[in-house]
Structure 1
């Protein structure tokens, strides 16, 4: 009995010491932030990787926020930039030009009672351009401004003014000369020099070409097409170029000239002239009163049908 008692005491003492060691080890792991390993899976007999504990909120925010380089609205330095995608969206091509230079809808559901507003021989003076643009803005209207290269060279700031205020820039040749009897080399220079200077100043080359005096000839049409330009003259003339400063009743005469020829798709020719600027608000109001709206030039296909 004495021998059995000693063995029992020895075993109990060993078990007690082993239990104390395990308890101290688990306490140390817990204090250090270590997690106990999960039990082995029944399928593989090996321990599964421990599932990561959810991170604190600040760390989560840092991980999910896009970096400046990945954001389309940030520049190289990570500075947020305005999103111009909406402004840069293309205007739907709803119209085309026929051989009479009228504007025609592409589908039966598109409004056909529209007119195209155009102004030739600029840019001339800010004192004419600003009130003209004010009137267009008032009527929510867009227009093509067919410019001459020599005028643009003399006053590039006026071209910038038209462009910045939403005017659509058109090509009206460099020197405003009759092109139909000129050599192909000269016609090309007259047209392409304007393309180049307008793009240099505004960043955009014109897409519309109107030959001076409506006389471009076959060579003018060929070179315009080669530069991606829609060639046009006009279908309604305001005859504002025939009026003089001393003439009376110019506003009434201009409006009468336009309305007497008015039809759906009218391509209206006007100029940057004081009396045209003065008459424009009344003219546009009159056209609206007759049920017409103003086509956005950007909605016109660049190929004649």
Structure 2
């Protein structure tokens, strides 16, 4: 019985050893096969960079990639909005005593003209095609408005402003200011400043007196309000034309080109024939080598 028990024990021990060896061989093969199917990070396509697994005990959501970190650092208050996000226009020009626009530096283009329109806002059917033409020629213009017109149709002022027009002050009632009292001139100018601010959120920085007659008191009140006082140096004479006149476009172009010079400050109005002639006029000016100055690039002081 003792011999039988010993033999049995030896057989069981041998079987145990054989089983253990078989398991080790299988595990070794599985590890090698697993390694053979993984692609090294350096061999992955550049469009799909390898990402490291999160450390033990930390979920993938807690891991921020560099891009996510950068985005999280920019809060909405860090993003430029409104005026801060708009294009900044350098001050390249100034106005001289003849009301011409002069470059501050000899290297700056001097063959430019300033486009201006007085006595509005009047009619959306005039404003929209006028703005379409300006947009076509990549041109900006000053729209000198009267307060009483703005009060009647604030939506028209909004239209000009929203379409990129620069709003100027042309007094409240379009009266001759040079013979009025300082108090009346002050009211005529400042009431326009206030209503334009109410409608557009911006205060005008350019002032043109009606009929070009502001006098010393007009210049004084304009300066107090931070306004650049101007009349014009080239008149289109569109205000002298009548609906029944023929060849109004040709007359307007002749009136402008006969006085044309570098820095011309061109006076026009929101009139049907002016709007009709504008595309041809601007094309003619471009053909003569002129471009259109952005009013925002003009210093608010005369030299």
What's the TM-score, normalizing by structure 2? Answer: 0.77
- Partner SS, residue 167 of structure 2: strand
Match of 2:75 among 70, 77, 100: 70
Q: Does 1:182 find its partner at 2:180?
A: yes
d(CA) in 2 for partners of 1:65 and 1:270? 52
d(CA) in 1 for partners of 2:299 and 2:278? 26
In the alignment, what sits opposite 2:129? Answer: 131
d(CA) in 2 for partners of 1:245 and 1:222? 38
Correspondences of 1:279-294 after superposition (within 5 Å): 279-294=277-292
In the alignment, what sits opposite 1:25? Answer: none
In the alignment, what sits opposite 2:45? Answer: none
Contact kept in structure 2, 1:239 and 1:254, CA below 8 Å: yes
Distance 1:115 1:68, change over 3 A: same
Distance 1:191 1:83, change over 3 A: closer
d(CA) in 2 for partners of 1:239 and 1:218? 25
In the alignment, what sits opposite 1:59? Answer: 62
In the alignment, what sits opposite 1:5? Answer: none
d(CA) in 2 for partners of 1:96 and 1:103? 6
In the alignment, what sits opposite 1:11? Answer: none
d(CA) in 2 for partners of 1:261 and 1:160? 33
1:123 offset after TM fit, Å?
0.2
In the alignment, what sits opposite 1:16? Answer: none
d(CA) in 1 for partners of 2:241 and 2:194? 33
In the alignment, what sits opposite 2:199? Answer: 201
In the alignment, what sits opposite 1:210? Answer: 208
* Structure 1 residues 45-100: Cα deviation after superposition (integer angstroms, max 9, x where no partner): xxxxxxxx6855421229936559934367xxxxxxx8557742321000000000
In the alignment, what sits opposite 1:19? Answer: none
* Structure 1 residues 185-227: Cα deviation after superposition (integer angstroms, max 9, x where no partner): 0000000000000000000000100000000000100110111
- Partner SS, residue 100 of structure 1: coil
In the alignment, what sits opposite 1:270? Answer: 268
Greater helix fraction, Structure 1 or Structure 2: 2
In the alignment, what sits opposite 1:89? Answer: 87
* Structure 1 residues 246-288: Cα deviation after superposition (integer angstroms, max 9, x where no partner): 1111100000000000000000000000000000000000000
Distance 1:186 1:83, change over 3 A: closer
d(CA) in 2 for partners of 1:153 and 1:147? 11
Q: What is the CA RMSD across the aligned residues, in angstroms?
A: 2.1
- Partner SS, residue 72 of structure 1: helix
Distance 1:144 1:271, change over 3 A: same
In the alignment, what sits opposite 1:108? Answer: 106
1:293 offset after TM fit, Å?
0.1
- Partner SS, residue 159 of structure 1: helix
What's the TM-score, normalizing by structure 1? Answer: 0.77
d(CA) in 1 for partners of 2:167 and 2:181? 25
- Partner SS, residue 301 of structure 1: strand
Correspondences of 1:144-183 after superposition (within 5 Å): 144-183=142-181
Runs of 4+ in 1 over 6 A off after TM superposition: none
Contact kept in structure 2, 1:113 and 1:292, CA below 8 Å: yes
Structure 2 unaligned regions, length at least 5: 1-54
d(CA) in 1 for partners of 2:78 and 2:250? 51
In the alignment, what sits opposite 1:33? Answer: none
Contact kept in structure 2, 1:251 and 1:278, CA below 8 Å: yes
Contact kept in structure 2, 1:73 and 1:83, CA below 8 Å: no
